[in-house]
Structure 1
Amino acid sequence: FFQGARDFILLNKKLPDSDENIQEYAEKLSKFIISGGLGHDIKDTDALRLSQLDLLCSKEIQSLKEPCKFFIAIGNVVRRVGFSKTTIEELAKELGLAKSSLYTNFSSKKEMFEALIKEECLNLFHVIKKNLLYAKNSAECVYIFMETEIEFFLKRKGLLYVCRWLTFQNSKDDFKIKAMHEKREKTIGKDEQLDFTSFILNADIITQIPDFGTPKMDAQIMFSWIFHMPIFFLLHNDLHDFPEESVHAAMKDFFYCMEKGINFIDNNENNISGGKK
């Protein structure tokens, strides 16, 4: 993830590279992952507090209304056959409708997916904003953001695979931060885009970003990482048919790794995530 981000920025900004720069990047990123982390104070954020936050995040998600049957059908078909094999015919069959009726609302499969992403990303965005009010510090902002995402996608598993398609679309060649930003502007709308951007850039969730060796845009890269990792955990959880509890446990360990580095987990394995590494 970080390597792709670095390559994209160097190419996009036309920045020179060298063996010395690569070595410095490797050293800083290794330190960040192994012993550094975001460096927030987490002495009050123990396993009990994280369990309390789990309940609060879940409560807000439960209040969301179910997506419309059309969006549920898209998610179901993508989950079953994959994006490349998802056709208008497959969607019509899932819905029990004539293919021609779908074209009255959308001109293409891509347009259908973008409509789904717009609707559901806004739902996720608004519930995250609500849940962040429960945070007592910056570290809890990070955890609440990821845990809300976990709860959201557990309730809307079909959407999870649509997000995987979006991730692949935006990363198969380069780390396309600009492309993602432009897509969000088109699908969410100007006013809501400004609201979203302002919220992210001013939220505690991306304060105190360390230098992990990626030139420029460290905050945007870190935020993108925070967003993508819950999706990664959920996809693997679903692939291996693990119980939902396992993804929550994995997220807690990952949270501590993000804040203090892997060494923190190794040295405190009996005191976090309910006492189990």
Structure 2
Amino acid sequence: MANSQISNKKNTKSLILDAAFSFYHEPHFTDFSLNQIAEKVGISKPAIYRHFKNKEALLESMQAHFYDLLAERLIEVQKAAESGKEYSKMPFAETIQFFAANPEYINYFLSQFSLNENFESQMRAELSTRGVKQATVSINKEWTFSGKNDDQIQALYCGTTFLLFLKIREKMHKCKKTALDDNFGVKLIKFVTDGLRGVAEPGAAIFPKEISNERKEELKKICSIDESAFPPEDRIFTALATVIKKFGLTNVTIEKIADELNMAKSSLYFYFDNKNQLIAKLIEKEFSLLNEIIFENISEAKTYSECIYISLLSETNYFLFRPSIIPICQWLIQNTSNQMGSDKSLEVTHAWENRIAEDVKKIDLGFRISPEILSLWQGFLPVALTVMGKKYKMPYEEYLIAIEKIFECIQNGIDTDSCSI
């Protein structure tokens, strides 16, 4: 009888945790209440207190559960790597497959990363206590991000690529544009490790072309920003970025933005109907300027490889010149990937995307890849680079070194002998 009661308690506790994570099925996460949890589980609110002292205890258990799941899978990767199995690809592919089938955990990770500036170091420490070794996730108490470190850049390249394509696949699946491919994890691992060279035939437009050092210097000059000709940043956009930095993405309100601007809330409602419209319009305006710069610079590209190189440089320079855009990057990665299901988002946006359209169709990740998705992937790598570089105060010279390495990863994949993903 006692064992049965314990079993029931464990089952109920698991159901409560599952209900809490279910609020992360959609990336537009909003806070939940214990009443909502109780309703989802089909129990009374007081019944929750038999398993969790309060909401804070539930949130702590959610975090511990996430770390347990992640550590369990990374340890399998670790064991495979130690035994010499094919670069631990299969266990890692299974990990990707798990998160593809359970997107709430990816959305939870993204929300925590956005809300907690110490989440990265906290996660490394938590994984370490669960037996995940340094070689698997680069755990190091003195770890600082540097553009000179190959392992860190490769980790950034892999992590950003995995997260973005998981989000895109999630959206495609929800829009019924694709089923959950059982080989998605294997295909994504191959795409990351082999780069464009591994998915294109020699002679194809997307097949990597060498860029001489002399030509790269020319392209760097093309991608430099003339500060004197650059328009000032929208003051509402600056206020939005400040509010996000102070209070976190989920706690942004029209009132807080108005307070930051020292103006009446009604004045903002004159221009915007709600918070989401305000954010969307401001980002659309800011990124239209970025697109103009990139497209103008891309017109100088002689090959698709040069197109990629120009895009990486132009975007990085832009983000470094507009640092207030960095706090909004979390909103970008959730919402931009969520637009992948609409036909409008898949329209060709510049000349090179027209030229590579046929080549891109041959890339098999288990769902439709378009030139626009390929550009989105390449565009988010500088976002991740700038976020990490700003956090660790990386000098501009190291950004240039990092861009070279990211470019090499896109073109030719990663060095699997020196990196454990």
Spell out the pairing of 1:36-185 with structure 2 (5 A cutoff): 36=198, 39-42=207-210, 45-59=211-225, 63-169=229-335, 177-178=340-341
Q: What are the superposed Cα offsets for residues 217-270 of structure 1, whole Å, 9 maximum, x if unpaired?
A: 25343222111111111111122222233222211111012112224998xxxx
Q: Give the one of 177, 191, 194 matched to 1:13.
A: 177
Considering only aligned residues, what root-mean-square deviation do their CA atoms show, in Å?
3.3
Distance 1:202 1:218 in 2: 9
Distance 2:268 2:358 in 1: 45
SS at 2:267's partner residue? helix
Give the stretch that moved more between structures: 130-139 or 217-226: 217-226
Shift of 1:164: 2.4
**What TM-score do you get using the length of structure 1 for normalisation?**
0.74
Contact 2:177 2:367 in 1 (8 A): no
Match of 2:194 in 1: 32
Match of 2:131 in 1: none
Distance 2:263 2:304 in 1: 48
**Alpha carbons of structure 1 residues 118 and 23: separation in structure 2 relative to 1, 3 Å:** closer
Give the stretch that moved more between structures: 147-156 or 205-214: 205-214
Distance 1:66 1:120 in 2: 11
Q: What letter is aligned with 1:36? A: G
Distance 2:412 2:326 in 1: 28
Gapped regions of structure 2 (runs ≥ 5):
1-161, 200-205
Shift of 1:122: 1.1
Instruction: Work out whether 1:227 is the aligned partner of 2:379.
Output: yes
Distance 2:276 2:189 in 1: 41
Distance 1:166 1:31 in 2: 25
Distance 2:283 2:232 in 1: 15
Shift of 1:4: 4.4
Spell out the pairing of 1:189-200 with structure 2 (5 A cutoff): 197-199=348-350
Match of 1:239 in 2: 391
**Alpha carbons of structure 1 residues 87 and 24: separation in structure 2 relative to 1, 3 Å:** closer
Distance 2:397 2:226 in 1: 19
**What TM-score do you get using the length of structure 2 for normalisation?**
0.51
SS at 2:306's partner residue? helix
Q: What letter is aligned with 1:73? A: A
Q: What are the superposed Cα offsets for residues 114-139 of structure 1, whole Å, 9 maximum, x if unpaired?
A: 11112112111111111012222211
Shift of 1:3: 4.3
Spell out the pairing of 1:241-260 with structure 2 (5 A cutoff): 241-260=393-412
Identity of aligned residues (%): 25
Contact 1:58 1:148 in 2 (8 A): yes
Q: How many residue pairs are counted as aligned between the two chains?
A: 247
Distance 2:363 2:242 in 1: 41
Shift of 1:150: 0.9
Contact 1:35 1:260 in 2 (8 A): yes
Q: What letter is aligned with 1:122? A: S
Contact 2:258 2:265 in 1 (8 A): yes
**Alpha carbons of structure 1 residues 231 and 31: separation in structure 2 relative to 1, 3 Å:** closer
Give the stretch that moved more between structures: 4-13 or 74-83: 4-13
Q: What letter is aligned with 1:241? A: K
Distance 2:265 2:242 in 1: 17
Give the stretch that moved more between structures: 31-40 or 69-78: 31-40
Match of 2:63 in 1: none
Shift of 1:64: 2.5
Give the stretch that moved more between structures: 48-57 or 59-68: 59-68
Give the stretch that moved more between structures: 162-171 or 103-112: 162-171
Shift of 1:77: 2.3
